[in-house]
Every structure is written in C-alpha cells, then in structure tokens.
Structure 1
Amino acid sequence: METKSNKTIVLECYRKIIRDMDLSVVNDYVHEDYIQHSPTIKDGRAGLVEMLTIMKSLPKPAEKSPSPIVRVIAEGDFVAIHLDVKFMGKQLAVVDLMRLKDGKLAEHWDAGQLYEITDSPITIINGSTVIEDSVNAERGKALVRKFYDKVLNGDRSSHHDYFTDVFIEHSQVNGLLNTQGYNIEIKRIMAEGNFVVAHCEYAGIDTVAACFDIFKLEDNKIAEHWNVWQLVPEVMAHGNGMF
C-alpha cells in the first residue's frame, strides 16, 4: 500500500473537512492533542471542532466558489498552504502552516490579512505557482536566511544583490523593503524546489506581527515575493502564542 505524502494528507483534509464540512472524519486527520496557534481558535482537536461547527452553521454562499488554494509548499513534517479566501463578504490572503506527525495534523500556525481587489495586474495573491523541483531547496533557504540577516536586519541598500532584474513584489502594504523599524526573527523556514516559506516574528517598538514571507527564486536570487501579515493580539483563545 502506497504511503500518502504529507501534502496529499493536508489537501485531503482541506477537501473533506473545510470544503465539504464532513466533521465525522476530523479524528482521522487530526491528533487529539493538536496544538493550535491561530489566536481565535481554542487549543486541541476539540477547539478545532468547535470552530468548524460554528462555520458549518453559517449561511452557505449562493454560488459555489473556486478552490481558495493557490500554492502548496511542503518539506518534511511541514506543509504551507497559501490561500485566497472569501469569507462573510471579505477577501483575505491567508497562510496556514501545518506540522504533521504519523500522518495526522499535530500543530497549526496561520496569519490572515484583509485586502482590497484593485485594477493592478499584480495582486497580493497572483503570480507563479509551479514548483520547479530541479532547484536546490537547501541552497534557497540559505539565500533567504542571508537576505534577512544582511539586508532586512542590516543594510537595506544592498538588496540589489539578492533580487533578479525583474523582481515582482506582491505585498500591498508591508513589502520586503517597507518594514523599517522592525527586528525580524525567522521562527521556522521551509522550502520545496524554487519556493521558500519563512515564518517570522516582526517586532517593532509598539507592535509585534506574525508574518509568512513566500519567495520564488530564480538563478539563486529572489524573483517574486508574497506575504501575509497579522498583528499579534494581546489576548488569545489559548496559551500557545502565535509562534
């Protein structure tokens, strides 16, 4: 019997539990001691079921929406999902990060950012989606770590050394070079082929934000960047924090 990849398991989970709202299969996909970092959802599998039960009770949209999943990037025990979500009349860019253990979801982090649809051909969510497996993922992670260290937490004028000639910035507000005043700490980083995902804490004087930066690399330089940025609230539904 072929073993399912973690990416396949997560996509099945989204399809059956999130799309179809089949709560009878939650136990098959989620550990009982599931660790929750999303600030408004209670801890454990029970907290997830409580949130899903509320979602299931909400009015269904009149028209069926396309899949919100735009990018799926996986490495080892981790799977990151980049989503374009329509919810209660709002448009959100979301990143969910899952850690799996023994074929089930064991831990979850996320960030969600409201955005406005504009006439710009470059949006917060569109752009490249194809993962090129020929690219060395470890080399990509090393490049991104160096970029944070040398540029974002160092000399921003040296960013030209890290970008392709035609670099595309998808962030509508907090682009890579528009985060002055923040100390940035990478909490976890993962890569698949030419895509790198960095889960970061952006600490300013008065605010702390959780951010997922997604990078597409070309020729060992950064060609595209997306992010999802969410302020860390003072009060959460659990004691796990957002990181």
Structure 2
Amino acid sequence: MTAQDLVLAAVAAIFTDFDVDTAKGLLAPDYIQHNTAVPTGAAPVLGFIPGLEQSGIALTTHRVLSEGDMVVLHNTYANAQALGAETLVAFDVFRVQDGRVVEHWDNLQVPPTETASGRSMTDGPTEVVDLALTGENKALVKGFIADVLHGGAPERITTYISPELYLQHNPLVGDGLDGLGAALTAMAEAGQAMAYSETHIVVGQGNFVFAASEGTIGDTPTAFFDLFRVADGKIVEHWDTVSEIPADMAHENGKF
C-alpha cells in the first residue's frame, strides 16, 4: 500500500469500522502522538476504539493530500463528544514508515454557525490536480509563509496572493485581501494580534499545499494549520484550523 492507502485504512479502522485488530496491524506500537489529550503509543488509540463506536462518532474526510511519507486529511468529526465537542473540523497529519503509521499531528476547531465569507470551514474544491506543478506551488507557499506569515517582507503579499481572487474559509475572515487586512486589524485592535513564529511541516501535492505552524494570538501559544489552493501561480483559496496550545499535555512529544 502507498502511504496514503495506509493512512486511509488506519483512519477507517479507528473511526468508521471500529476494528481494533486491523488498526493494530496498521499502527506502529511506538506510534508517536501529538494530539495533546491522547497518550503516546498505539495502545491508547486502540483502547479508545470501543468507546468511539459507542459514542456514534461519524467521520467525513473532505480532502486528502500526500507527499512522500506524509499524508494530510481535512476532516469533520460529527457526534464528536468523545473528542470534546459536538462537531469538530480538523487537519490530521500522519507520517508513515516501514509499512506502518508511525506519527500523528492534529489541530481541531469547533465550526461556527456563521462565517464572514459565507463559506464553511470545509466546502470548496477537493480534487488534486496540476501534479506537475507540486514543487512550484510548494515553493510559492513557502515564500508566502516566510515573507507574509513570518513577517519577512509582508509588502510582497501580492506576489503570492491574487488581488482579484482569494476565497476564504477561516470563519472570521472575509474574502480578498481587504477581508484579510480587516480581520488582522480588528484582531490587533482587540489586543489579539496574530503572529507566526515557526513552521514545522509543509506538505504539497499538485494544487494544494498544507502547512503546520506555531505562534501566538495575543499572548496565547497557538497552533495554525493552514491549507492553500494554488491556481495560475497564485494562492487563490485558504482553509485553516486554529487552536490554543495547552501547557499540559498527555505526553512529552509536544504539539509538533
């Protein structure tokens, strides 16, 4: 199986089929966990499966992209009280090695009933296309992260984002550069300025590029998981999940 096949099979075993034996065969025993509430190792995940089945949790995967040994899923969990809320939107990131899933990162957010753009946190295009442009698109997003998100040269934003088309799925941000600017200004005026400090993971496939970063909102340590769609050499669409990084975790692996 490919890395993507392995991950999809493991996720189905855990959240859809509730099949402990199959999941056990797909997860490495020393599975490295970065979900802040779950202990590390395969055993805790396997132990949760019967409870997940009883809870009625339902998983919908909206997007899948993979590069090398890394696989990113854009998911919605419904009936997700076992994970902390009725509904959660998530990016789940997995690393595969030697035919097993060996590491997992995630970032979960409760979706609001209304958004600034009128779009949900998960709707929009899903098909991975332009595979030949993966390297070029990944380089574009890396440049945007360095220059704009990390503040290296924010005035270059139109080098990366189309002034004519920028569709937004962050619940608090409207479409276009005007919507982004207005949201950032409002956050700063409220004492909740957003700052990215380090980007730990970048995964690209065709027209989609994903990045997992840490930083702050105000004084609060925060994880930013961002997904960008690229078309004609510009970033034209953005999805994300944002969550606080807690001081206390169920393991010593950290959020990243």
Per the normalisation by structure 1, the TM-score is 0.88
Mapping of 1:81-92 within 5 angstroms? 81-86=73-78, 87-88=80-81, 90-92=86-88
What is the one-letter code of the residue matched to 1:232?
I
Quote the offset at 1:204 in angstroms.
Answer: 4.8
Structure 2 distance, partners of 1:142, 1:212, is: 17
Q: Residue in 2 aligned with 1:168?
A: 167
Q: Residue in 2 aligned with 1:126?
A: 123
Quick check: 1:29 aligned with 2:29? no
Quick check: 1:152 aligned with 2:149? yes
Quick check: 1:43 aligned with 2:40? yes
Q: Residue in 2 aligned with 1:234?
A: 247
Structure 1 unmatched runs, 5+: none
Three-state SS of the structure 1 residue aligned to 2:21 is helix
Structure 1 distance, partners of 2:157, 2:170, is: 17
Structure 2 distance, partners of 1:174, 1:33, is: 40
Per the normalisation by structure 2, the TM-score is 0.84
Three-state SS of the structure 2 residue aligned to 1:136 is helix
What is the one-letter code of the residue matched to 1:168?
L
Structure number with higher helix proportion: 2
How many residues get paired?
A: 235
Structure 1 distance, partners of 2:146, 2:216, is: 15
Of 206, 209, 222, which residue of structure 2 is paired with 1:209? 222
Quote the offset at 1:184 in angstroms.
Answer: 3.1
Relative distance call for 1:53 and 1:239 in structure 2 (3 A) is farther
Three-state SS of the structure 1 residue aligned to 2:119 is coil
Structure 2 unmatched runs, 5+: 175-179, 188-192
Quote the offset at 1:208 in angstroms.
Answer: 1.2
Relative distance call for 1:84 and 1:170 in structure 2 (3 A) is same
Identity of aligned residues (%): 30
Structure 1 distance, partners of 2:91, 2:194, is: 24
Mapping of 1:43-82 within 5 angstroms? 43-58=40-55, 60=56, 67-82=59-74
Quote the offset at 1:111 in angstroms.
Answer: 0.4
Quote the offset at 1:181 in angstroms.
Answer: 4.2
Three-state SS of the structure 1 residue aligned to 2:166 is strand
Structure 2 distance, partners of 1:163, 1:181, is: 19
More off after superposition, 75-84 vs 155-164: 155-164
Structure 2 distance, partners of 1:169, 1:32, is: 39
Structure 2 distance, partners of 1:135, 1:166, is: 23
Structure 1 distance, partners of 2:218, 2:131, is: 41
What is the one-letter code of the residue matched to 1:101?
Q
Of 219, 235, 241, which residue of structure 1 is paired with 2:232? 219
Quick check: 1:190 aligned with 2:203? yes
What is the one-letter code of the residue matched to 2:37?
T
Quote the offset at 1:148 in angstroms.
Answer: 1.6
Contact 1:41 1:51 in 2 (8 A): no
Quote the offset at 1:134 in angstroms.
Answer: 3.6
| Cα offsets for 1:26-61 (capped at 9, x unmatched) | 221000010000000011011212332432343x37
